[in-house]
Every structure is written in structure tokens, then in C-alpha cells.
Structure 1
């Protein structure tokens, strides 16, 4: 009896820890929404278009990629911008395969879970030691990020709109800088660095001859080829990915 009680107390403690971790990650991640809102307006979108993207797309990397390409090529680069964002969003589908056993059953529950299956919710969930704490970590983190991200997106869009001509402040180039900032922490292994450098060279070479947005898509093939042959990666591990589980709620290691 005492063992059952001890297990119950420990489970409740794990759930409280998962809740606190999820809220902390949600608050930290939401802060980036201000940047996206301002940069989206700088790229030519209005306030409501910016907010719509955050609600419907809800994937920070994809959103920054979208406005980055639009900022460089305008409306004409729309198809390439959408394709770039979609490529980055593929990873969320992979996360879904890992989190499917965590979120539980039920059509509406799975539909809602698909919306908030992102880097942060996946990382926090997989870092928890028990099935229930994983479920708590997933939902708390996902909802905290979703609510906070959309609020700060609106705030950032209002700030960007109030600035007027954002090009006068250099914000028209800030979208690319923000995306590089998201990429930088992932450059921990030789393979990732090699892919980044090679893709940058390909994109820079093709920029003068292709319409805006297309060089980014062509450069993405570099990652596909490197991953397919696992060049500079760890033998036996696809893509040289780390087999370690994420140690905190700040995002996935890979």
C-alpha cells in the first residue's frame, strides 16, 4: 500500500515538474513572436495576414522562412516562399510519429495535437520519465507556446506597423538574420556545418540567375544529398543525428 502511495506521489511530482517546464518553455519561446510580427510587416504583410499565419501555420522556423523569402522577392516569390516553409515543416510530421502514442486517442484530440506538435512540445514531452508526465508536458508546452506566440505576434505586428517604412530601420534584412539566429544553435556537428556552408554557396551562386526564393529550394537539395549518403555523419546513424534524448525543454538537440 505504501509503495502504491509513493508511486502516486512521485507521479504527481513529475506532472508538476512537466507543467512548470512547459510553461517556462512557452514563455521563453513566445518572446520570439514579437520578432516575427515585426519582420512579417517589414516583408510587406499587414497585421491581420501576419496574425493569420501564426494561427494557421504555427511553426516558427517555417514562418521566418516564409517572410524571409517574401522580404527578398516580394509577392512574385510567393510560391517559393511557401515551398521553403513547407520543407521546414516536414519535421513536424516526423515529430508526430514520436508523439502519437503520447497524446492519446480521439479524433479531435489528435487534430488539436497535430496543430501544436512543434520542436518545443516534442522536446518537453520526450524528456519526461513517465507516460502521464509526457502527456502533460506535451499539452502544457504546446498550448503555452500557441497562446503566447500568437499574442506576441500581434504585438510585434503592431510595433512594426507603427514604425512605418521599416526599411529605414534595416528591418527588411532582419528576417534573414533572425533565421540565421535560429539555425546557429544547430551547427554543433561537422555534417551540419558542411551542409550550411554548401547550401549558402549554392544559394549565393544561383541568386543572380534565378527568381527570388528558388535558390533556397535548390540549396535544400544539398541537405537531401548529404543526408542520403550520410557524408561526414556518424556511421550507422542516419544523417549523423545524435541518439541522445533532449536534456531540457529548450528544443531538440538535432
Structure 2
């Protein structure tokens, strides 16, 4: 029985996607997203961070949305603590990715602390798209390595380029970060609930921007998710109640009011 199980596992692994295909897909994601590190480098330098601070963010934080949120809030004159809080809340999603990937990849304990640095949107998406554990591990490693190297390299080039051209606002490069972030986010909004969360977050963020300190509207906009999910839950509950009521009415035959007592 053990031999049959082992043979079945081997056949399952062999039936998976070829390694070359996994590497090709992982490199495609790593290169495409890694190039946007240039926009972060420009945005960070334009917000007043030094070259060392900009590069340290990409090396140590390594999650694009949080990095853009942090430097964006600082560029708008926000309090550093508020800016850091907004970036932190955006980065919390990576912890949930880690819970799923820990089961999927089943990496050795000694490797997990190092692999945790690469648990981001892109590595999670590539890993979950693979048919076998071997392919998932390969996709995670190639995506993480290529993206980490390219993101940090382009961050350095972007920061150096921003220093060379001077005022980034004059060139309109301060909009590069938000534009890249929106380009990455838009394809992920596939369901009605996701679009509702995004729309409500935009309304809250832009509506509160003139009345709250920089960085705070981002934190308030995070309330869009529980509000939209609560509304969706209430709507789904009412729909189920309506369906149940309709079924009960259909199943129970109508009894005329003047029918004999025995028929009622």
C-alpha cells in the first residue's frame, strides 16, 4: 500500500506543469511587476526620503502597496506614525497569504523565516496557480527571487534618476506611484463586492482628504471592507429568507376560508 501511494504521488508530480513553463510564468510576473520599482524609487525620492531610506524600504519592507502608501502619505505632509500605520494595515494581508502558503509549500522550518520576506501578492498568485507542490515551490522561489532583485534594482535607479532630474512634481512623476498601484489593483476587482469596497474606499478617502490630516483618510478608507461585507451579508440573508418563504408558499396548497374544518 505504501509503495502504491508513493507511486501515485510520483505520477501526480509528473503529470504537473513542466518546470520550464513554471519558470517562464514566474519570470513574466517577476519582471513585469519588478519594473514598477522604478516608479517607487522616483516617488520616494520626490517625497523627501534619502537614497538610503528609499532602498532600505524596498530591501526590508518589500511590499509595493505599503511602500507607496507610506511615501505618499509622507509626501502629502502626513505624520510619520500615521503614514506607517496606513502602510502596516495594507501589509497585514500578507500574513493571511502566509497561512495559506505554509500549508501549500510545506517548507522546512529553517527556510520559513527567509521565505516569509517573499510572501506578497505576486508570489502567492503564482504559487496557488500551480497544480503540484513541486511546481508551487518552484513558482514561489522564481517569482520571489526575480521580483526581489529587480524591484530593489529599479528602486535604486528610480531614486538616482529622481535626484538627477530634480523636482519630480515639475515632471509629473509624483503621479507615477498611484498610477502603478491602480494598474495593479484594477484587474483584481472581479466581483460586485470587491468593486463596492473599492468604490466606497475611494469616496471615503477623497471625501475626507480636505478635512483630515494626511494619511488618516487612508486608515478611514479601510472601513470600506467591513461595511461592504456587512451590507452584502444582510442582502444575502434577506435573499435566502425570501427564497425560503416563496418555497413554503409554493409547497403549501391554498385552503379556502369557507372550507370544512376537516379540510383545514
TM-score range, shorter chain: 0.7 to 0.9
Match of 1:46 in 2: 50
**Judging changes above 3 Å, is the alpha-carbon distance between structure 1 residues 222 and 160 closer, same or farther for their aligned structure 2 residues?**
same
Contact 1:103/1:135 (<8 A) preserved: yes
CA displacement at 1:225 relative to structure 2: 2.1
Which is further off, 10-19 or 206-215? 10-19
CA distance in 2, matches of 1:53, 1:210: 26
The TM-score, its normalising length taken from structure 1, stands at 0.81
Match of 1:150 in 2: 152
Q: Secondary structure at the match of 1:108?
A: coil
Match of 1:110 in 2: 112
The superposition leaves residues 68-117 of structure 1 with CA deviations (integer Å, 9 ceiling, x where unpaired) of 211212xx421221111111111111111111024334333000111001
CA displacement at 1:189 relative to structure 2: 2.6
**Unmatched segments (≥5 aa) in structure 1:** 236-254
Match of 2:93 in 1: 91
CA distance in 2, matches of 1:229, 1:8: 43
Q: Does 1:209 align with 2:245?
A: no
Q: Does 1:77 align with 2:82?
A: no
CA distance in 2, matches of 1:13, 1:215: 44
Contact 2:105/2:133 (<8 A) preserved: no
2:198 pairs with one of 172, 196, 199: 196
Match of 1:16 in 2: 20
Q: Secondary structure at the match of 2:89?
A: helix
Match of 2:143 in 1: 141
CA distance in 2, matches of 1:124, 1:203: 31
Q: Does 1:63 align with 2:62?
A: no
Contact 1:38/1:159 (<8 A) preserved: yes
Number of aligned pairs? 230
Which is greater in Rg?
Answer: 2
CA distance in 1, matches of 2:150, 2:116: 18
Contact 1:64/1:178 (<8 A) preserved: no
The superposition leaves residues 107-136 of structure 1 with CA deviations (integer Å, 9 ceiling, x where unpaired) of 330001110011111111111111111111
CA displacement at 1:199 relative to structure 2: 1.9
The superposition leaves residues 142-175 of structure 1 with CA deviations (integer Å, 9 ceiling, x where unpaired) of 1111111111111111111111111211223443
CA distance in 1, matches of 2:15, 2:143: 18
Contact 1:190/1:232 (<8 A) preserved: no
The TM-score, its normalising length taken from structure 2, stands at 0.78
Q: Secondary structure at the match of 2:92?
A: helix
The superposition leaves residues 44-67 of structure 1 with CA deviations (integer Å, 9 ceiling, x where unpaired) of 111111110001000111111111
Q: Does 1:37 align with 2:61?
A: no
